């Protein structure tokens, strides 16, 4: 099945968010925490991979971005 332009762009947004989250998690100093967060992120994205409702997908992207920002803030604080 081919994707519409908006579905393609939404998919790109999701993949970009996933990569950003995994990149941020690499900065977590404790290996156990890092592994926990990687498993959590993979599971969240896997669990929602079949979502098709546009509003729900937009909401999940927004939530994911907020969680990414929170992780980045926490890492920044831990380094200072």
What is the mean pLDDT of the segment spanning 24-33?
A: 96
Is residue 1 scored above 80 in pLDDT? no
Angle at 57 between CA 56 and CA 59, to 5 degrees: 65
Q: In 3-state terms, the chain is what percent helix, strand and coil (to 5)?
A: 80, 0, 20
Provide mean pLDDT across the span 14-37: 97
pLDDT at position 79: 87
Half-sphere exposure of 38 (CA within 13 A, CB side): 12
- The predicted model gives 5-32 an average pLDDT of 95
Per-domain residue ranges for the chain?
Answer: 5-79
Q: What is the pLDDT of residue 3?
A: 85
- Measured CA to CA, the distance from residue 48 to residue 18 in angstroms comes to 12
Say yes or no to pLDDT of 19 above 90: yes
Q: How many CB atoms lie within 10 A of CB 76?
A: 10
């Amino acid at each position: 099945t081919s994707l519409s332009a908006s579905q393609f762009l939404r998919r790109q947004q999701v993949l970009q968010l996933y990569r950003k989250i995994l990149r941020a998690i690499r900065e977590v100093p404790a290996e156990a925490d890092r592994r926990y967060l990687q498993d959590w992120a993979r599971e969240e994205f896997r669990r929602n991979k079949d979502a098709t409702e546009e509003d729900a997908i937009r909401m999940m992207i927004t939530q994911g971005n907020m969680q990414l920002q929170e992780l980045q803030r926490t890492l920044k604080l831990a380094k200072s």
